[in-house]
Amino acid sequence: MKLKSAVAVALASAFMSQAALADITIGVSTSLTGPGASLGVPVRNATTLWPAEIAGEKLVVTILDDAGDPTAATKNGWRFVEDKVDLMVGAANTPATIALAQVANEAKVPQLSPAPAELPEGKDYWTFRVVMHAKYYTDGLLEHMKANGVKTLAFLGLSDAYGESYLQAFKEKAEAAGIKLTTIERFTRADNSVAGQALSVVAGNPDAVVVVAVGGGAALPQKALKERGYQGKIYHTAASVSPDFLRLAGKDAQGALVSSGPEQVAEQLPDSHPGKANAVKFVKTYEDKFGAGTRTQFAAHVYDFALILEKVVPVALKTAKPGTPEFRTALRDALENYGEIATTKGMLKYTPQDHWGFGPDARVIITPNGNDWKLSN
């Protein structure tokens, strides 16, 4: 009798172990607090739109707050490694994403990133971004500037990895577009004033200024330039697109020109746009749950993760079960080799040489329209 009981317990334990092994575990590190919360909270929100299971395997999601801090993101990453997650997601800003990518690379865990993290060659082997490279956003901004007669340009941007990626892109590309990069001013995410930097920019009287900032933090330089009488064009990168930017900048936001993903203006896209159907579905699903006008690009990136996983997880499952190093490797390989996947931005395609996956068709120029956005002419 005791032997039968022992066997029954052993079989039950084995069954429970196999069931747990079949769960696909995902660790999400994002900014739920701190200055980057306007980007990080939509990341968390969008995970609630993911399916409960993919290919018959349950998704188990753990979300940890990193407050936008690289050290906290690193700790979260190693916590995920201890928990043997199959996939890491994050973070909501570039410095924290780079920190998480270092953990992913060392621990050999795939990472899906909603932030445009620049990594040294070979260090993104396990990292896949679901956002367009800064060089394509920069190309779009320069094309718009050139078409509107801009000859001189000032840079007013963050002094971190996100700001640096754009500064280098403009240094490399502006001259070829016939645009001279003049004044360069930097600031930090924690700054409460950019008055000095704005005065320096205005004194140079450039035809245009490009602001490289994040979420509500982009309102600070926008207002500083307007309050000091700057009359030229003010351009922004994609991370400025948020309800907080519109709210905090108020009337001073009007006229800003922002390079954005197309999902932000999904309903205004032509029917021929390859991302329109998914973008419209994302907007309806997200705003039905979180309220009108709450859509953000970061939420769309995370919504896209599910569209991607629905394609690559079945492929990885042919090789191994979740919870194993073999599955993590199979998932990474499937991401790299699957081919085109339809997302809210258009068609994404990773290759061994390209872990960004999007080309220049995944961008539009938008401008504030009251408390919303519209396509720019």
pLDDT value at residue 2: 38
Quote the CA–CA distance of 100 and 119 in Å, as a whole number.
Answer: 11
DSSP 187-243: E-TT-S--HHHHHHHHHH--SEEEEE--GGGGHHHHHHHHHTT--SEEEE-GGG-SH
Q: What is the pLDDT along the chain (377 residues), one digit of tens a residue?
A: 333 333 333 333 433 344 345 799 999 999 999 888 888 999 999 999 999 999 999 999 999 999 999 999 999 999 999 999 999 999 998 899 999 999 999 999 999 999 989 899 889 999 999 998 888 889 999 999 999 999 999 999 999 988 998 999 999 999 999 999 999 999 998 899 999 999 999 999 999 999 999 888 999 999 999 999 999 999 999 889 988 899 999 999 999 999 999 999 999 999 999 999 999 999 999 999 999 989 998 999 999 999 999 999 999 999 999 999 999 999 999 999 999 999 999 999 999 999 999 988 889 999 999 889 999 97
pLDDT value at residue 38: 85
Q: Do 258 and 238 touch, CB atoms closer than 8 A?
A: yes
pLDDT value at residue 54: 97
DSSP 321-363: -TTSHHHHHHHHHHHHHS--EE-SSSEE--BTTBSS---GGG-
pLDDT value at residue 4: 38
CATH 3.40.50.2300 in the chain, residue ranges: 2-132+288-361, 134-260
Q: Do 364 and 265 touch, CB atoms closer than 8 A?
A: yes
Cα distances from 192 to residues 102, 186, 196, 209, 210, in angstroms, run 30, 13, 12, 20, 19
pLDDT value at residue 21: 54
Q: Which CATH number fits domain 2-132+288-361: 3.40.50.2300, 3.20.20.70, 3.40.50.2020, 3.40.50.970?
A: 3.40.50.2300
Contacts of 193 (CB under 8 A, 6+ apart): 220, 224
Structure-token pair, residue 60: 């188990």
Of 368, 344, 367, residue with least CA distance to 132: 344
Quote the CA–CA distance of 91 and 70 in Å, as a whole number.
Answer: 9
Contacts of 239 (CB under 8 A, 6+ apart): 39, 162, 212, 213, 214, 215, 218
Total residue length of the chain = 377
Element holding 364 (H helix, E strand): strand 364-369
Structure-token pair, residue 375: 């396509």
Q: What is the pTM of this model?
A: 0.85
Structure-token pair, residue 148: 């509107």
Quote the CA–CA distance of 80 and 103 in Å, as a whole number.
Answer: 10
In the three-class reduction of DSSP (H, G, I as helix; E, B as strand; rest coil), residue 370 is classed as coil
Strand duo 152-158 + 208-212: pairing: parallel
Superfamily of domain 134-260: Response regulator (3.40.50.2300)
